[in-house]
Amino acid sequence: MEPVKVGLLGLGTVGGGTVNVLQRNAEEISRRAGRGIIVSHASARDINKPRICKTDDIQLTETPIDVVSDPEVSIVVELIGGDTLARELVLKAIANGKHVVTANKALIAKHGNEIFSAAQKQGVMVAFEAAVAGGIPIIKAIREGLAGNQIEWLAGIINGTGNFILTEMRDKQRDFDSVLAEAQRLGYAEADPTFDVEGIDAAHKLTILASIAFGIPLQFEKVYTEGISKITGEDVDYASELGYTIKHLGLSRITDAGVELRVHPTLIPKRRLIANVDGVMNAVLVKGDAVGPTLYYGAGAGAEPTASAVVGDIVDVVRVLTSDPENRVPHLAFQPESLSDLSILPIDEVETAYYLRIAASDKAGVMANITTILADNGISIDSMLQKEHKSDEKAAIIIITHTTIEKNMNEAIAKINALEAVNGDVVRIRLEHLDAD
């Protein structure tokens, strides 16, 4: 049987890694897929640039539409990133009756509904395992391995750059700016790190995870997103003293009122396995009603970890090339006509616990005023620290609360900020216990 020919759009780090994995493991992949798989075509901005892979047997072009339109190519692998040209090329590939594999989380999060609809009409597959958490097969785990469960919630460390920064701040008592500069030197962070440190990259990935977990349309624009650039060494140290680690978490939970969809810095108890995922590694914790909590851990980026997911998708596509489109695993886990219209909860309606840090004058009655405000807004205190600053007669008051509604906390914080004895704004970081209950 003739090998299946694959066309790559993009021959950078992940593209080169994909070629290497397909070539190095060709025999094993053929045994799994039932047919040989070769990269026959590839596009790159500069075809003369040195590559991390062999390209002798690949037809190279600087015009990606040539790959999408070539009749020999059965599967188009989109690795160029962005959501403008990539969207155009993917839709063109689908229109040409080609299956698509992509590692592009922004493309799926923002345009996936349109792309999957077009693919369904054409009877082709769009596979996107590599779009979330690099080499961790989290899409397949939720969509297929946990298909017998009602997913209750999921939480993920799904951006390696942010996790590296917070790990270094905790372990080496460094400030955010110096660690960010190092992350840029090491190649973990881009020159413009906004997507990573402000949570946009994680929001793209969370959008996809929540959709396949809860059977809802992709709704990136409704994700509440908060970055880590305001996290200080003080907060990292105080959290640790109280038994918590700060992680930049993507979290989605189904409730009676709707679906929570949020990315923000989060205190997690140190005893949780996910709290001990450090450096550039990724992890996703998924709670199903039958299986309980399950943790998926691994490299979230890199040439071959991401290529592992890309090649896995290619193998899946090859396995079903001749199958009836109606009998394939749905793109978003649920049959398209069965997607739910559950609403996405606004952040004001979310229930969670909180870490508060309040800078206040070290005077009698200040603590009583603060606790009264919290009580008046229905907020109870779980634990508390008070750290005195001998030099300026001020104190840092650190409070861990029990679960409450965000809008109640907003009202309480506004009132605390207005107290004459309080200096500066209250620092608020959300807290999740992530237990099995």
Sequence-ordered list of residues with C-beta below 8 angstroms from that of 401, at least 6 positions apart, any chain = 353, 354, 356, 374, 379, 380, 381, 382, 409, 431
DSSP character at residue 34: S
**Which run of H or E residues covers position 252?**
strand 244-255
Per the structure block, which two tokens stand in for 261?
């969809």
Separation of CA 147 from chain center? 21
261 within 8 A of 219, measured Cβ to Cβ: yes
5 among known catalytic residues: no
Q: Measured on CA atoms in the order 103, 108, 114, 117, is the torsion positive or negative?
A: positive
Phi–psi pair at 161, nearest 5 degrees:
-60, -50
- Would you give the distance in Å from CA 288 to the centre of its chain? 19
User: C-alpha distances in angstroms, 154 versus 146, 201, 248, 293?
Assistant: 12, 17, 14, 9
| 200, 361, 379, 381, 411 from 365: Cα distances, Å | 42, 10, 19, 17, 20
The CA-CA-CA angle for residues 165, 166, 172, to 5°, reads: 85
Per the listing, tokens 């001990």 go with: 276
- Residue 280's Cα: distance from chain center in Å? 13
Alpha-helix residue ranges (DSSP H) falling in 25-104: 26-33, 64-69, 85-95
How many CB atoms sit inside 10 A of residue 364's CB? Answer: 6
Catalytic residue among 105, 205, 247, 287: 205
Decide: 201 and 81 in contact? Cβ < 8 Å: no
Q: Is 333 left (phi over 0), alpha (psi -120 to 50) or beta?
A: left
Give the whole-angstrom CA distance, residue 339 versus residue 342: 9
SS3 125: coil
**What is the Cα Rg of the chain in Å?**
24
Q: For residues 189 and 187, what is the distance between their CA atoms, to the nearest angstrom?
A: 5
Region for residue 254 given its phi and psi (left: phi exceeds 0; alpha: psi -120 to 50; beta: otherwise): beta
Catalytic residue positions, numbered: 205
